[in-house]
């Protein structure tokens, strides 16, 4: 979140101007060290009054540790209007019927495409109405090889690399096919829809349209070595700033042949430590940080999409200098199709196992689709059950 620091500092300055009796001390910890630092502080009995929570990945486990204040009574007391947040995003801040944070931001997934690659083959640019079959047909044409069969440009990447990525590719596809990710607190990764999605990713990889897991490094899309790239709104600013050798566009990700669209979102929020000695001030700050005023400051920063409805256009307008407002708008329009990240107990543990082992092995062809998903579902649900005890 280091790229968001200036925006956060501006928010704090505005808050302290409105509430001069409350002083906020900002401490920045790099994301890769953040969760370890947080656990260490809690174990020592000395933690921040308010801290950032990745609601999709970590909220259930911190609730289970009794580490967070249930803010539902304060929301009700102060009549906080929850309708100002997208429904699919708001769900992430609620676990088992109680709210622990209010939405700060959200992300959605889009399909980036290299206009130069399409122009080279005289192909029409995607218009946001592709099906998954349309995608497969296009990437077959867009994959470029030399005379010896070496890949010069892949037809498709996800986050600039292989297709073994859940958030930006596999999960939205499963959902668009009519599948679920979680039912009754357990994952359902052995569904027919999950098998179809993993088989699709495996086929594209085996045919050489997408890179194999573990054989590439760096972002192939920004290097011009990928024609289509699935990624999140968080990459919009980075690509706009750094892609110089070609122009790119963004459209909605494909829909199923039945016309069903789906997207997926994670969302950050500010939570209150259960042992805080400054509860009133902490709640005042948390509530304000989810306000329209705070969201407007965040939106103007151009880093992430603010969750407060009507302020997301400020994020879009931040791309005017790149002439990319239309492309940025795709991520906003996609929120109406979004689903919350699959929250369960032990999610940080099982997701690592799922993404670094199971889907890598399946897509690479070292593990069968049916057997791999059966094993994954059993092991992951075992992790969830153990974490729930």
Q: What is the pLDDT of residues 36-57, one digit of tens each?
A: 999 999 999 999 999 999 999 9
- Residue 360 confidence (pLDDT): 97
Q: Which residues pair with 231 in a beta bridge?
A: 110
Find, among 245, 208, 249, 205, the residue nearest to 223 by Cα.
245
What value does the mean pLDDT of the chain take? 96
- Residue 389 confidence (pLDDT): 84
- Residue 215 confidence (pLDDT): 74
- pTM listed for this prediction: 0.95
Q: Give CA angle at 221 (147, 113), nearest 5°.
A: 95
- Residue 68 confidence (pLDDT): 99
141 compared with 31, residue with greater pLDDT? 141
- Residue 139 confidence (pLDDT): 98
Quick check: 222 pLDDT over 80?
A: yes
What is the fold of 2-107+267-340? D-Maltodextrin-Binding Protein; domain 2 (3.40.190)
Beta strands in the chain (DSSP E): 50-54, 94-95, 98-99, 105-106, 109-114, 144-145, 151-158, 182-183, 186-187, 226-232, 248-251, 263-265, 268-272, 305-306, 338-340
Are the CB atoms for 163 and 156 separated by under 8 Å?
yes
3-state DSSP assignment of residue 106: strand
How far is CA 379 from each of CA 185, 226, 255, 383, 387, rounded to the nearest angstrom?
14, 34, 30, 6, 12
> β-strands 268-272, 50-54: how paired?
antiparallel
Q: Which residues pair with 53 in a beta bridge?
A: 269
Domain 2-107+267-340 identical in fold to domain 109-264+344-387: yes
* Mean pLDDT value of segment 338-351: 93
Q: Which residues pair with 109 in a beta bridge?
A: 232
Backbone angles phi, psi at 264, to 5 degrees: -145, 145
Burial category of 108 from C-beta neighbours within 10 Å (exposed 0-12, middle 13-18, buried 19 and up): buried
Exposed e or buried b per residue across 58-84, where buried means at least 16 C-beta atoms within 10 angstroms of its C-beta: bbbbbbbeebbbebeebbeeeebeeeb
CA pair distance 296, 309, nearest whole angstrom: 10
Tokens (6 digits) for 334: 């996609």
Q: How many CB atoms within 10 Å of residue 320?
A: 11
Quick check: 33 pLDDT over 70?
A: yes
Give per-residue pLDDT as tens, 177-211.
Answer: 999 999 999 999 999 999 999 999 999 999 999 99
Q: How many CB atoms within 10 Å of residue 222?
A: 21
- Residue 122 confidence (pLDDT): 98
Burial category of 235 from C-beta neighbours within 10 Å (exposed 0-12, middle 13-18, buried 19 and up): buried
Give per-residue pLDDT as tens, 297-335.
Answer: 999 988 899 999 999 999 999 999 999 999 999 999 999
What is the fold of 109-264+344-387? D-Maltodextrin-Binding Protein; domain 2 (3.40.190)
Give per-residue pLDDT as tens, 241-256.
Answer: 999 999 999 999 999 9
Q: What is the enclosing helix (H) or strand (E) of 387?
A: helix 369-387
**Cβ neighbours of residue 316 under 8 Å, at least 6 residues apart?**
325, 328, 329, 332
Are the CB atoms for 167 and 232 separated by under 8 Å?
yes
Q: How confident is the model at residue 1 (pLDDT cuts 50, 70, 90)?
A: low
* Mean pLDDT value of segment 353-380: 97
The domains of the chain are located at 2-107+267-340, 109-264+344-387
Backbone angles phi, psi at 109, to 5 degrees: -110, 140
- Residue 2 confidence (pLDDT): 59
């Amino acid at each position: 979140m280091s790229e968001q620091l200036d925006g956060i500092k501006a928010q704090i300055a505005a808050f302290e101007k409105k509430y001069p009796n409350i002083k906020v001390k900002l401490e920045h910890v790099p994301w890769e060290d953040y969760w370890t630092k947080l656990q260490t502080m809690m174990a020592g009995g000395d933690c921040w009054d308010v801290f950032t929570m990745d609601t999709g990945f970590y909220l259930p486990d911190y609730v289970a540790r009794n580490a967070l204040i249930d803010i539902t009574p304060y929301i009700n007391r102060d009549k906080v209007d929850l309708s100002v947040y997208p429904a699919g995003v708001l769900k992430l801040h609620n676990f088992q019927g109680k709210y622990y944070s209010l939405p700060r931001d959200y992300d959605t997934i889009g399909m980036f495409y290299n206009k130069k690659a399409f122009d080279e083959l005289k192909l029409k640019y995607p218009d946001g109405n592709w099906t998954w079959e349309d995608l497969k047909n296009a990437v077959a044409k867009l994959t470029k090889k030399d005379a010896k069969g070496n890949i010069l440009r892949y037809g498709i990447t996800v986050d600039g690399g292989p297709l073994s990525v859940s958030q930006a590719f596999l999960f939205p596809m499963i959902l668009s096919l009519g599948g679920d990710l979680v039912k009754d607190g357990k994952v359902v990764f052995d569904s027919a829809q999950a098998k179809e999605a993993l088989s699709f990713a495996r086929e594209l990889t085996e045919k050489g349209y997408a890179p194999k897991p573990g054989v590439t490094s760096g972002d192939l899309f920004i290097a011009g070595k990928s024609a289509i790239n699935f990624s999140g709104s968080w990459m919009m600013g980075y690509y706009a700033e750094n892609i110089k050798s070609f122009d790119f566009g963004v459209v909605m990700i494909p829909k199923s042949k039945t016309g069903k669209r789906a997207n997926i979102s994670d969302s950050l929020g500010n939570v209150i430590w259960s042992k805080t000695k400054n509860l009133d001030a902490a709640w005042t700050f948390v509530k304000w940080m989810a306000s329209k005023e705070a969201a407007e400051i965040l939106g103007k920063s151009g880093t992430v999409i603010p969750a407060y409805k009507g302020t997301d256009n400020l994020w879009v307008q931040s791309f005017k200098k790149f002439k990319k407002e239309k492309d940025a708008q795709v991520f906003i329009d996609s929120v109406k199709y979004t689903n919350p990240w699959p929250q369960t107990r032990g999610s940080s543990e099982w997701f690592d196992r799922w993404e670094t082992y199971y889907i890598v092995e399946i897509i690479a062809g070292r593990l069968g689709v049916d057997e791999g998903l059966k094993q994954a579902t059993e092991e992951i649900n075992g992790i969830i059950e153990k974490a729930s005890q």
